[in-house]
Each structure stands twice: as structure tokens, then as C-alpha cells.
Amino acid sequence: MRHLGKKNVIGILIDAVDYEASIDFIFRAARDRRGAAISALAVHGVMTGALDLTHKFRLNHFDLLVPDGQPVRWVLNWLYRTGLADRVYGPNLTLKVCQRAAAEGQSIFLYGSTTEILSPLQKSLEEWFPGIRIAGSEPSKFRRLTGAEKSDLATRIVNSGASITLVGLGCPRQESFAYEFRSALSMPILAVGAAFPLIAGHITQAPGWMQDRGLEWLFRLCVEPRLWRRYLYLNPAYLFLVALQATGLSQFTTDGQLPIEEVLAG
């Protein structure tokens, strides 16, 4: 088990952690009924925080940010000599969490995506992990929730008896959700990105050799060309900023800007 603490990657505090330590953290929080915000960040996720001070604040107040993308793991190993042998890939982490939840009798709640994806997702999880307890599921409204809607949703999730909430809203909406609901749910909230449609069979996973070489972005670009701005702009920008950090030409602080909802709540 490896958990070497949080490391500054262009201003975002990524946990140098492996699957075993990540899962151990999630289930300790579930057993303790403790609110915890967890996300698996690839390059796109890191860059959303690096380019937005408010989102940087959210991410750097997460309990656990795992290195989802190979380029994120490579930077941890390069800059901090963490020696991580593998990334913590969101879809694989989701499956491992569901496997352990089934074994321990912990229940999960699925939030986000669409009914067309949630239905086959739940069916797949029940087939692969007999005995898994899915306390409930609810699709995204694809808009920001009102205060009353947030309160009602939190009540429904808590009353479902779930021990863990899995959120598939896409980056950065899912991280905003986890940040805002952490205290209200008193359970680990795991933002899992593309795990929902992947496990449901709605999108195809990149071949293993492409994943290992950090080329999953190229596969997704070919399959979903609408994402071209994400990859053709953010990937080179990430490499440039990492180079600045590595050479000491730029210092990346981890300070962010308090989200407006926090200011208003205060």
C-alpha cells in the first residue's frame, strides 16, 4: 500500500497513492460515516484547476485526488520520485470499490449521467458483483441545482441507506458536486468521470497498450472528435506548465479563490 501524501502538480495537490491505499481510505470513511470528497484526475482534470482559481480551491480541499492519467503519474514519479507503478484509473477504481462493497455489504448510490446509462450500468454491476447493494440511482438534471433541490437530493441519498456515493457528471461538474455535498452526505463521494458510460457499455475503452503509453486521449479524440479542444489545447499546455515547474522557472501556488457559494454561506 502506497500513500506518500499530497504533491504539488502545477498548483494542484495530487495524492501519490495506489489502488490499495485509495480503496482503504474510501472504506474507512464509509465505515466511519465521514464525509469525504474523492476524485480521479487525468490531465484535463488537473488543468481545470490550474486555469480556474475557484476550482483550484475546491480541488485542493478534496480529501483524496488520485492520479487517473499516466501523464499525471509520470510527473509525480519525475518530480517527487514517488515510484508509483501504476495510475489509479477511475473506471478501474470504480469496479474495485464495487467489488469490495459487495464483499463487505456496503451499499452504493449512483448519481449522474442519464437513465439510458444508469440502467445498464446497474445491470452490469449486479451481474459482475453478485450481492452488491445499490441503494438508489438518479440521473443528472444537466444544470445547476437550486438550494432546495440540493437539500432534497441530499436527503434522498442519506435516506437510501447508502454508504458510498458514486458520481458521474463529467469534469469539473462532478468535482463541484463532491465538494458541495461532502458535509451534507457524511459519506465518501467518489467522482468517477467516464466510468458510468464505460461500464454501461455506451463508450469504448482504449486498448491497454494505448492506456499504458498515455495515449488514451488520442483514442478518445478519434472516437469523440467533439473533444478536440480539450486535448489539442490542454495537453500541450499541461506539458508546458510542468516544464516550467520542473525547471524552476515558475512557482505554482496551491492557493485558490473561495467559491462564491462559500462566501454567501458565511
Question: Do the Cβ atoms of 129 and 96 come closer than 8 Å?
Answer: no
Residue 265's pLDDT band, with cuts at 50, 70 and 90, is very low
Domain membership of residue 87 (yes or no) is yes
Residue 266 domain flag? no
Q: Is residue 85 part of a domain?
A: yes
Which region among 70-79, 137-146, 201-210 has the lowest average model confidence (pLDDT)?
Answer: 201-210
Q: What is the pLDDT of residues 232-246, one digit of tens each?
A: 788 899 999 999 999
In a domain, 265, yes or no: no
For residue 6, what are the CA distances in angstroms to 12, 63, 65, 66?
9, 10, 8, 9
- Listed residue (180, 183, 113) closest to 147, CA to CA: 180
Report if residue 89 sits inside a domain: yes
Considering its fold, how many domains does the chain have in total? 1
Could you count the other beta carbons within 10 Å of the beta carbon of residue 199?
Answer: 23
Supply the pTM of this predicted model.
0.90
* Residue 263 maps to a domain: no
pLDDT at position 209? 73
Residue 162 lies in a domain: yes
pLDDT-derived band at 219, boundaries 50, 70, 90: low
Residue-range definition of the domain harbouring residue 149: 3-258
Tell me the pLDDT tens digit for each residue of 106-117.
999 999 999 999
The string of pLDDT tens digits covering residues 119-177 is: 999 999 999 999 999 999 999 988 888 889 999 999 999 999 999 999 999 889 999 99
Q: What is the pLDDT of residue 211?
A: 74
In a domain, 158, yes or no: yes
Q: Which run of H or E residues covers position 103?
A: helix 90-104
